[in-house]
Amino acid sequence: MASLRDIKSRITSTKKTKQITKAMQMVSAAKLNRAQSKATAFLPYTEKIRDVVASIASGSESDEEGISHPMLEAREEVKKTAYLVITSDRGLCGAYNSGLLRHTLKTINERHQSPEEYGLIVVGRVGRDFFKKRGMPIYQEVVGLQDQPEYAEIKNIAATTVDMFTDGIFDEIYLHYNHFVSVISQKVTETKLLPLNEFDTEEEGSETELAPKTNLEYIYEPDPKVILEQLLPHYAESLIYGALLDAKASEFGARMTAMQSATNNATDRIEELTLVYNRARQAAITQEINEIVGGAAALD
């Protein structure tokens, strides 16, 4: 049985741990609010670009066939697939990283027979280290992003990712990240980034993800083809940035929940140790009283 000093030391160390986890919980809550606000503010911008792109690509009354672009066309043969995986730089966020990485690894193993058939573009130190340890091909990586990342921080990797598709290095690109559902729920999500051809399958009476949500007619200057060539790469880059903002909100939500759970566990542990400490202390006092009474009786 541990001594009173040992139990007291464990209670003290657990209290210090609780203070740390409580502070991390509060910091994560504040960061989550900012991340949610930023992701929500960016969403209308992405939706408007999507509407314009879909409007040009689907055509109008004067141009029934619409306008074609390599970024809108699926390749006849998919020789190589890229996966852009967004993870965190730090741990202590529950199953946020492990669930996503397991999903990505399972998807790759199911779809591909060899490393020549796929490539990885990784955001976050945890994902980078995970794939490097397994010897998987990483074409690009970015670590050390701010908690509230700016577009300029990921513009290079986003632009390079789009260029690798247009240059034919990859025939399709998927985004893997955690979508923010609520503070206690994050959904592992796969989204096809390129090619942008979802609206090609639009059915009458339905609205696809990239189909225009309004009946607005746009006037383009100089002309729709030039606008589309400039807008499509920027739209793909904005999808990456939007997914990053969403993933950051999920990360802070997961870390806040994990730290809250750790704080609650520390509270329970402190109560258990305090009870053990009080019982041991009472037993020691009782034993001392018995020894004093026994000694006094022996003197009589």
Residues serving a catalytic function are 93
Q: What's the CA gap between 268 and 263, in Å, rounded?
A: 9
**N-to-C CA span, the chain:** 35
Report the b/e string of 104-120 with b at 16+ CB within 10 A.
Answer: beebbeeeeeeeeebbb
Give the separation between CA 51 and CA 227, rounded to whole angstroms: 13
Spatial contact of 90 and 250, defined as CB atoms under 8 Å apart: no
Listed in sequence order, the residues at least 6 apart from 162 whose beta carbon sits closer than 8 Å to its beta carbon are 71, 194, 233, 236, 237
Q: Which residues pair with 191 in a beta bridge?
A: 175
Per-residue burial over 248-272, b = 16 or more CB atoms within 10 Å of its CB, e = otherwise? bbbbbbbbbbbbbebbeebeebbee
Q: Are 232 and 214 in contact (CB under 8 A)?
A: no
DSSP track, 30-44: HHHHHHHHHHHHHHH
| Exposure letters 213-225 (e unless 16+ CB within 10 A, then b) | eeeeeeeeeeebe
240 contacts 55 by C-beta, under 8 angstroms: no
Report how far residue 270's alpha carbon sits from residue 41's, in angstroms, rounded to the nearest whole number: 43
Give the 3-state secondary structure of residue 277. helix
